[in-house]
Amino acid sequence: MIMPQDPPAIQQFLKNSGRLDFKALESFAENHDEEAFVRFLKTPVFMGNEVLEGELSHRRGDTTVFISDHVNISKRQVLMRPPMMHLVYPFIKRLPTGNPDFFSIGRNEENDFVLPDYTISNIQAGIRRTGANRYLLRSAPATNPTRLNGRTIEKSEAFLHDEDRITLGRYEFLFLSPSALYCRFKGVELKLRIQQFLDSLGKADHDFLKDYAIRHGQEMFEQLMMSPSLVGSGLFRGYSLDRDTHDGNTTLAFLPDITFGMEPKHFKMLERAIYPLVEPETAWEDHPIIRIGRSETNDVIMQEGSISNNHATIDLLGPGHYHMNDLGSTNGSFINDKPVFPPLGQDLHDGDRIKLGRFEFTFLYPGSLYMRMTPENVRRRR
């Protein structure tokens, strides 16, 4: 896939360290609307947030070990004040050599983002642009480990989203898309998170999502969603055991009626059922696990008799790597008509059909969900 070229227009604001001229960029934002600003910048940025308080311990090689006083990142405000907010690094290559889709960060002057501070290693971290024009933060064996939203990156890479906090040495930066940066210049804080639009069952507000997609476009929609979703697709017709003969907490065995065929019946109403696969806020031992079932202890709750109390899990094993497993449910779990056998499970891919009980869902990444929710004429205008 051919990646977008580095934007030539923004080069005029670029300094030798890879930083943008803050005053010039701020002036451009003040005199242009959001669409013109996004078209001019084209690329996300790292924007300085604050210098963390802590102890400068001892030197390890040519870098100083930094021990931060900040434990819980969620209790700290986004400060966005001078001089840190003047540090704006766009994802643009400083030199024409090397991988055009990889941006290096460190104290060494050969990096794309040069941070000349003694708590920053010569090579601190990197950013990789993917084929979907999304960005992954890549850790490096630095003296002071790079952190994403207060956590050390356990895997080698992690996807970045609007307002993610990246800690490099004693400095904290925000990852901002062009639209989010424009909002910052206009004094509008971007606080929207998809969690704000989920009901108690983990289901998203369909009408809000559709309106947001139409109003703000694909980039902002993907930043809001962040993760794939299970989207209602169809209903299999058949028979269930009589509920009168069972306790209300018992899962009903579902028997499909083959006289109607093996395909589910599709209803527009079912397409309104959108379950974003949001990482649980509770801690996990190794990797995030999203739990699906009828019980209220699950992350995605489907209160229907053919769904078991603890029906299935979807594990996030790495950036973009989703793996589904059945938990020994009464009616099983299926991906593209193939049963999911525990404990092996199966990987999930964009557009996969998932059968849980008598319902069929489609596994959709944010970009695919955007295409499904927006009329073609809206996408053509952008």
Q: What is the mean pLDDT of the chain?
A: 83
Q: Per-residue pLDDT for 253 more than 50?
A: yes
The amino acid that residue 81 corresponds to is R
- Hey, what are 153's tokens? 């990156």
At 152, is the pLDDT very low, low, confident or very high (cuts 50, 70, 90)?
A: confident
Write down the pTM of the prediction: 0.59
Average of pLDDT values for 216-230? Answer: 87
Question: How many C-beta atoms lie closer than 10 Å to residue 291's C-beta?
Answer: 18
> Taken in order 44, 46, 48, 49, is the CA torsion positive or negative?
positive
Q: Supply the pLDDT for residue 7.
A: 46
Q: Supply the pLDDT for residue 4.
A: 42
Q: At what angle do helices 206-225 and 178-185 cross, to 10 degrees?
A: 100
Judge: domain 10-71+79-186, CATH 2.60.200.20. yes
Q: Supply the pLDDT for residue 268.
A: 79
Q: Supply the pLDDT for residue 133.
A: 65
At 155, is the pLDDT very low, low, confident or very high (cuts 50, 70, 90)?
A: low
- Hey, what are 213's tokens? 């997609």
Instruction: Convert the pLDDT of each residue in 25-44 to its tens digit.
Output: 999 999 998 888 888 888 89
> Taken in order 17, 22, 28, 33, is the CA torsion positive or negative?
positive
Instruction: Convert the pLDDT of each residue in 332-343 to its tens digit.
Output: 999 999 999 988
Contact of 225 with 366, CB cutoff 8 Å: yes
At 77, is the pLDDT very low, low, confident or very high (cuts 50, 70, 90)?
A: low
Instruction: Convert the pLDDT of each residue in 102-147 to its tens digit.
Output: 999 999 988 999 999 999 999 999 999 876 567 889 988 899 999 9
Q: Supply the pLDDT for residue 233.
A: 92
Q: Per-residue pLDDT for 101 more than 60?
A: yes
Average of pLDDT values for 247-257? Answer: 65
Please check whether the two domains, 10-71+79-186 and 196-371, share a CATH topology. Answer: yes
- Hey, what are 49's tokens? 């947030």
Instruction: Convert the pLDDT of each residue in 371-380 to its tens digit.
Output: 999 987 666 6
Q: How far is CA 372 from CA 214, 217, 243, 281, in A?
A: 11, 13, 36, 28
Instruction: Convert the pLDDT of each residue in 187-217 to its tens digit.
Output: 765 556 787 788 888 999 999 999 889 888 8
The domain limits of the chain are 10-71+79-186, 196-371
Q: Supply the pLDDT for residue 17.
A: 77
- Say which CATH class 196-371 falls into: mainly beta
What is the spatial distance between Cα 316 and Cα 271, in angstroms, rounded to a whole number? Answer: 24
Q: Angle at Cα 100 formed by Cα 95 and Cα 104, nearest 5°?
A: 65
